[in-house]
Amino acid sequence: MKVSVKTPATIANIGPGFDSFGLALPLYNIVTVEETVLPGTGIEINIINEKNNENDLIDIPTDKNNIVYKAIELLYNFIGQNPNELKITIKTQIPISRGLGSSASVIVGGLIAANELLGHPADEKVLLSIATEIEGHPDNITPAFVGGMTMASWEEDGSVIYRKLPWNDDWKLMICMPDYELNTEISRSVLPKEIPLSDAVYNLKRSAMFVEALYTKDEELLKLSLKDKIHQPYRQKLVPGMTEIMDNLKHTNGVIGTVLCGAGPSILIIYNGIGVSEIKEIVSNSWNYFNVKTNFLNLPIEKEGAVKIL
């Protein structure tokens, strides 16, 4: 028996919501988990990059250090078993180390597939908890599971509390993806262990504004809410051209806000449907100065989340 699960890409933080806000995108990874029939075959992990860039796969483990296997192992341990004979196939469409939640996607896909194989011993609460334990924070994990725009908190007891938030379809998403990777661990390493109280208060205010703007479809409030002092100022030095892009888009017609996609280096532009050509030109020119090429993705929010396809 085998099960395949398709899981969307995600963008975390969305400006002020560090480690709590996230949204799903219609780019997908597919994880297939299969029980092998021959004893002693052990664990087999195959990774297929459907974007035909094998260089993206060089550093991904294909043994028990693989994050998908680690997540599945925790699920098996939850019911008092060990995953002895499994074949795991990961088909990747989500670019790796670009801030689009590729690791969260495969973790979620692997867990849901394995849970199906085992006869559904774990409910959503347990699966979210295991996935977040592997990923380290719930902002990408939650929208990968349930789709849409979410806010989530990883509680002290290991549980994840989340709510889905509304999204105005008039607010469009443009992902500006540079032609280089940025490792999440490196992007995390530049963050300070402590922040000024004034910066924490600043982000609390913006996060509250953000939620209110979503519920009231208030574009001006959304524009004010997308500012951040907790993570983006520290990560900008790892994303050459980001400061210039954000400054150059501040007064561009149609632009509501510009934020880093998760840990970067991709940049998310939220706009109201106009000025697409001008926005792309500004981003391209800003990154060209740093010899960075840009791939633009205009995508809606994926509202469904992870789904079983086989």
- Does residue 138 sit in the same domain as residue 189? no
- Does residue 158 sit in the same domain as residue 184? no
Q: What's the gap between Cα 43 and its chain centre?
A: 27
Q: Give the total number of structural domains in the chain.
A: 2
Rounded Cα–Cα distance for residues 205 and 209 (Å): 6
Lowest mean pLDDT among 20-29, 59-68, 114-123, 149-158: 59-68
Residue 35 confidence class, pLDDT cut points 50, 70, 90: confident
Rounded Cα–Cα distance for residues 187 and 115 (Å): 32
Strand partners, 172: 271
Mean pLDDT of the 196-205 span: 98
Mean pLDDT of the 46-66 span: 73
Give 85's DSSP letter.
S
Q: What is the pLDDT of residue 91?
A: 94
Mean pLDDT of the 160-188 span: 95
Q: What is the pLDDT of residue 58?
A: 59
120's CB contacts (< 8 A; 6+ apart) are none
217: domain range?
172-299
- Does residue 150 sit in the same domain as residue 13? yes
- Does residue 93 sit in the same domain as residue 204? no
- Does residue 27 sit in the same domain as residue 80? yes
Pair 38, 158: CB distance under 8 Å: no
Rounded Cα–Cα distance for residues 150 and 165 (Å): 5
- Does residue 105 sit in the same domain as residue 34? yes
98's CB contacts (< 8 A; 6+ apart) are 177, 178, 181, 182, 261, 265, 266
Pair 112, 22: CB distance under 8 Å: no
The DSSP bridge pattern shows strands 149-154 and 86-92 to be unpaired
Burial class (CB within 10 angstroms; exposed 0-12, middle 13-18, buried 19+) of 250: exposed
- Does residue 131 sit in the same domain as residue 275? no
- Does residue 157 sit in the same domain as residue 11? yes
List, for residues 113-156, the tens digit of each pLDDT value: 999 999 999 999 999 999 999 999 999 999 999 999 999 999 99
Q: Which of 30, 36, 47, 182 is nearest to 108 (CA)?
A: 30
Give 159's DSSP letter.
-
Is residue 232 helix, strand or coil? Answer: helix
Higher pLDDT, 182 or 60: 182
Ramachandran category for residue 241: left, alpha or beta (phi over 0 → left; psi -120 to 50 → alpha): left
Lowest mean pLDDT among 38-42, 51-55, 69-73, 201-205: 51-55
With a cut of 60, say whether residue 42 has pLDDT above it: yes
